[in-house]
Amino acid sequence: SGTTLTWGDEVVFSSATTTNTGICYSTGQDVIMIGWSGPSSNTIYCIAATVGSDKTFSFGSAATVDSGGDGSNQSIAYGMIEYNPTYDTATVAYENGGDSGHNYVAAVSVSGTTCTVGTAVEFDDTSEELFGQSYDPDIGKTVLVYDNGTKVGARVISQSGTGNRTISLGTEALFANNSGLTVQEYYGGMVAAYDTSADRHHVLLYDDSASAAKLTYFTVSGTTVTWSSGTAGTVSSGTVSNNETGGGIAYNAARNRIITYGATATSTSSDYNFEYHTISGATYTSQGSATIIEEGLRTRSQHVPSVQTNVGDLANKTIIVYSDVGGSTGGGRVKLLDPGV
């Protein structure tokens, strides 16, 4: 309590190696949901757990999203799993090795801690592994943001049928310039962040014409995505397009600021930085320089995604999910942090 940080016990949800791990919280079912790639990235799983007041987790059985028997399945940018409170489901996105590495998404519903997986749908017919998801509360739908190998695209997920597990996709909308999400490599942060002040999604991308990372946004009406035609914002943090730079984006509603983060070089001795940005109309104003988070970060593939919730047994607590990198199995772990009140 007060300024005291209290950790719950580490809980193992997979004894086998886990990679590309993501987490979300189901407000409808009051459970956490974890999506990950199994051993050798050959199987995509989803599992749910209740959380006790004593910071413990009680997991159900893992459900298979894609067996991976026909090829390697994975994702690189953090965005594998996203909860949609309107449909009370999570959507799990992944690269399908059985279909030439094309990108697919499936809806998963939960009853208790039992996950039921719907039929996966292809959302991008290229083998790029960079994508993310961003929930839009204004329309009650989740938007996929992805790299199609030439440009960054976005399309809306609509859901229906039993358990809202049937997916249909809106028309693809592409950013104007040749671009990509390579600033998120490798196992970086979120590719898009929803702005509650103006109902828009900010995107951190690499603009080929500028040879630099840029900040832009799109809006959504119904199932139609419209990219901004304004001048993209300049980014000093995480400007490199390459493996191990681990860039990402977040939005701070309290301060109405966008935060970008990442490394400015691919060297393992390079610094990991962040930078804040504001926007007025369609014009971004950036901090203009990167603030160092950590000097000489040796690996950027181990950053842990987390979720902050404020209801039930999870009030004012943060859940952290991660892989046991360097351990005997590399298995999946989860624990809860109580930062005090």
Average pLDDT score, the chain: 83
Tell which residue, 137, 207, 224, 197, has the closest CA to residue 216: 207
pLDDT in tens, 125-145: 988 888 999 999 999 999 999
pLDDT of amino acid 64: 94
Residue type, 298: R
- And the tokens for 97? 């090795």
Please tell me which residue, 224 or 210, carries the higher pLDDT value. Answer: 224
Q: Three-state secondary structure along 241-310?
A: CCCCCCCEEEEECCCCEEEEEEECCCCCCCCEEEEEEEEECCEEEECCCCEEEECCCCCCCCCCCEEEEC
pLDDT of amino acid 196: 92
pLDDT above 80: residue 340: no
DSSP string, 185-220: TTT---SEEEETTTTEEEEEEEETTTTEEEEEEEEE
Tell which residue, 174, 183, 250, 243, has the closest CA to residue 213: 183
pLDDT above 70: residue 82: yes
Mean pLDDT of 203-219: 92
Q: How confident is residue 5, by pLDDT bands cut at 50, 70 and 90?
A: confident
Residue 69, exposed/middle/buried by CB under 10 A (0-12, 13-18, 19+)?
Answer: exposed
pLDDT above 60: residue 330: yes
Share of the chain above pLDDT 90, in %: 45
pLDDT above 50: residue 1: no
- And the tokens for 340? 């005090």
Residue type, 286: S
Please tell me which residue, 113 or 291, carries the higher pLDDT value. Answer: 113
pLDDT of amino acid 195: 94
User: How far apart are alpha carbons 207 and 266 in whole angstroms?
Assistant: 18
Q: How confident is residue 296, by pLDDT bands cut at 50, 70 and 90?
A: low
pLDDT of amino acid 183: 80
Please tell me which residue, 73 or 122, carries the higher pLDDT value. Answer: 122
Please tell me which residue, 67 or 323, carries the higher pLDDT value. Answer: 67
User: How far apart are alpha carbons 66 and 36 in whole angstroms?
Assistant: 11
pLDDT above 50: residue 305: no
DSSP string, 95-145: EEGGGTTEEEEEEEEEETTEEEE---EEEE-S----EEEEEETTTTEEEEE
pLDDT above 60: residue 30: yes
Mean pLDDT of 251-258: 88
pLDDT of amino acid 143: 97
pLDDT above 60: residue 265: yes
Those residues whose C-beta lies under 8 Å from the C-beta of residue 71, and which sit 6 or more positions away, are 42, 96, 97, 98, 99, 101
